[in-house]
Structure 1
Amino acid sequence: MRDVSLNPVRPFVTELTELTWLDDPVIAPTLVTLAAGALRVVIAPEVGGALAAYYESTPEGPLHWLRPATQAAFDERDPLRMASFPLFPYCNRIRDARFQFDGGTVDLSGNDLRFAHALHGNAWRHPWRVRARAESSVELHFEHEPDSQQPGDWPFRYRAQQRIELIGGALRITLSAQNLGDRPMPFGMGHHPYYPRTAQTRVYADVQAMWHADADVLPTHLGPHPAIEALRDGMSPDAFELDNNFANWSHEATIAWPDEHRQLTMTADAPFDHLVVFAPANDAQLCVEPVTNTTDCFNAVGMQEQVGGCVLLPGEEIAATLVWTPRRG
């Protein structure tokens, strides 16, 4: 874990001190809350298998480690306004919602008219089922059966799972998937966490190169950028206009709030070999996303280790773990 030399003072508590939707008679029954010591994680299986909050219970109120969901996120069943949500069976955009695979064209156009390019796969758009559940852990499952009558539907059959647990003073999520079809399937996965963003927030990550992008946030080439050195030293989200993939990272990133004397370290197993930093200018959003593939990986040209993603053979499974460890003082 990266040590950013925090000093022990009274912990900062975000302005949102009450998670009012936890007491909503309509919303509350659909949520799963895990607890271990003072740590809590709230999960909304029916809203794309998303996390609604990850926080520490303190006498002053909830201390949020991820940006908590808004009431509107529940009203509109919108994972994009949750704390984090799973990405299956690919991460980020696919140019023009099309790519070539196994001798044919996979056409994903028409599945969401809000976006010109296919975005984040399809698992986040559907409810997930709750399986094994305990006080500090739960398993969520999603199974996709292609629908030929649905425009732009993912044409491969697969199963995805999240095992979410609070253990060792941290949030651990193991993502896994299996190709349930009788033909190879292109594949990628990840998680899309949003973090509290303040003027003093800093992001630390050891990365080697950045995918530059065009106006549609689609990659053009891999190369140097001042953000690479800034991330190593502790980058302010306000330093650059970023929605970019970074290659060859150390599988560890830290989001620090030095004025609040706290930090959150994220570690990732291979093949989460790619890191997305979304830090738009003049915006409250901040994402530092562990993913297995670059944006538009199915169309990208480059070495496999630069592009990521994989092909799952019939029956083949893949699994890898992400951990978010908080530290105060």
Structure 2
Amino acid sequence: MYKVSSAQKQYNTYTLSDDSTGSQIEVVPERGGIVTSWLINEQEVFYLDAERFTHPDLSVRGGNPILFPLCGNLPNDTYNVDGTDYKIKQHGFARELPWTATAQSASDCASVIVELSSNEQTKLVYPFDFHLAFTYALRGNTLEVRQEYKNLSSTPMPFSSGFHPYFLCGNKSKIAVDIPSVGYQDNRTKENFAFDGKFNFEQDEIDSVFGKLSSRSTSVTDNDRKLKIAIDYDDFYTYLVFWTVKGKDFYCLEPWSATRNSLNTKEYLTVLEPNASCTAVMQITANFF
């Protein structure tokens, strides 16, 4: 049985539930349209820095933040459109702005639609009119995020988009990573390395960018928490990023449509013609074993 409810906490929070599997997701539209929590039989899937979350002036560290209109950062936070330089912060502004919940359903799944449109504030750093509509749909132990990106400008609109899910983890030495790529670039050093499925979790930070993906699925098995996370994504996504910090009980496995600096390099950049739109789908499946 599917259910959708809402309650006023610090922010209005939507709860999507599937009673058949004991799966429950919380969505907070006002705080960047983010999923903050995912419980399966009372066990949490996502990490969330709860204290940081209470401060509206700080970006959320946890849950599943939305990256738009860029993934990663730019040199000097700067890119150029038609001869004019613009400055924009890492991962863009979608994760920081209030979204609006516009529809919900509990028919064939538990779902809520959240939407975001351009405004005068966004156009100071991104000179385009746009509309985004994301549908969060919970069915069993799978969260599907269906996305629509629409260009409302009179000129072509370039962007990249992605997600930055924080997964709660146990002993990282017991994590097994399956990423469909034979190599990665260390974002800190810009060095390239072959990938054999293993990371050195004794490093202070791991920030690895994987391209040339050979399949549309990736996974991490946490043998400490007995939790397997599988992420499936369509052809919109061209890169995966694995990021974690020593001493923190999370790791991030992030599907991106393009890598860092694509607003300048144009590599894998999505460009929508005026009044055109495109769609993308990403699914996360979580199973405790």
TM-score category (smaller protein): 0.7 to 0.9
| CA 146–312 in structure 1, closer or farther in 2 if over 3 Å, else same | farther
SS in 1 for 2:53: helix
RMSD: 2.6
Structure 1 runs (4+) greater than 6 angstroms displaced: none
SS in 1 for 2:167: coil
Q: Is the 8 A contact 1:137 1:163 kept in 2?
A: yes
* Partner of residue 244 from structure 1, selected from 202, 205, 208: 208
Q: Distance in 2 between matches of 1:35 and 1:77?
A: 30
Gaps of 5+ in 1: 1-22, 110-117
Percent of paired sites with the same residue? 20
Q: Distance in 2 between matches of 1:90 and 1:186?
A: 9
SS in 1 for 2:196: helix
* Partner of residue 296 from structure 1, selected from 237, 261, 264: 261
SS in 2 for 1:124: coil
What's the counterpart of residue 54 of structure 1? 38
What's the counterpart of residue 3 of structure 2? none
- Number of equivalenced pairs: 277
SS in 2 for 1:259: coil
* Partner of residue 257 from structure 1, selected from 186, 198, 222: 222
**Which structure features the higher share of strand residues?**
2
* Partner of residue 94 from structure 1, selected from 67, 70, 74: 74
What CA deviation, in whole Å up to 9, does each residue of 1:163-215 have, x standing for no partner?
Answer: 00112531111122111100011111111100112222332212133234346
Alpha-carbon offset, residue 71 of structure 1: 4.2
Alpha-carbon offset, residue 106 of structure 1: 3.4
- Does residue 279 of structure 1 match 2:250? no
Give 1:4-19 correspondences, 5 Å limit.
none
Opposite residue 125 of structure 1, the aligned amino acid is E
What's the counterpart of residue 60 of structure 2? 80
Q: Distance in 2 between matches of 1:138 and 1:69?
A: 24
* Partner of residue 142 from structure 1, selected from 116, 123, 126: 116
Q: Distance in 1 between matches of 2:252 and 2:46?
A: 10
| CA 105–243 in structure 1, closer or farther in 2 if over 3 Å, else same | farther
Alpha-carbon offset, residue 237 of structure 1: 4.4
Opposite residue 137 of structure 2, the aligned amino acid is E
- Does residue 308 of structure 1 match 2:282? no
Q: Distance in 2 between matches of 1:139 and 1:122?
A: 19
Alpha-carbon offset, residue 99 of structure 1: 1.7
- Does residue 328 of structure 1 match 2:285? no
**Which structure features the higher share of helix residues?**
1
- Does residue 230 of structure 1 match 2:201? no
Q: Is the 8 A contact 1:98 1:105 kept in 2?
A: no
What CA deviation, in whole Å up to 9, does each residue of 1:31-52 have, x standing for no partner?
Answer: 0000012111101111011111
Alpha-carbon offset, residue 295 of structure 1: 1.0
* Partner of residue 187 from structure 2, selected from 202, 206, 213: 213
SS in 2 for 1:99: strand
What's the counterpart of residue 44 of structure 2? 64
Alpha-carbon offset, residue 104 of structure 1: 1.5
Q: Distance in 1 between matches of 2:57 and 2:64?
A: 13
Q: Distance in 2 between matches of 1:153 and 1:24?
A: 33
Q: Is the 8 A contact 1:203 1:236 kept in 2?
A: no
| CA 129–257 in structure 1, closer or farther in 2 if over 3 Å, else same | same
Gaps of 5+ in 2: 1-5
SS in 2 for 1:81: coil
Q: Distance in 2 between matches of 1:298 and 1:206?
A: 25
SS in 2 for 1:229: coil
Q: Is the 8 A contact 1:146 1:156 kept in 2?
A: no
Q: Is the 8 A contact 1:43 1:50 kept in 2?
A: yes
What's the counterpart of residue 191 of structure 1? 163
| CA 78–40 in structure 1, closer or farther in 2 if over 3 Å, else same | farther
SS in 2 for 1:195: strand
Q: Distance in 2 between matches of 1:166 and 1:236?
A: 34
Q: Is the 8 A contact 2:166 2:250 kept in 1?
A: yes
SS in 2 for 1:93: coil
Q: Distance in 2 between matches of 1:213 and 1:264?
A: 24
Q: Distance in 1 between matches of 2:188 and 2:51?
A: 34
SS in 2 for 1:298: helix
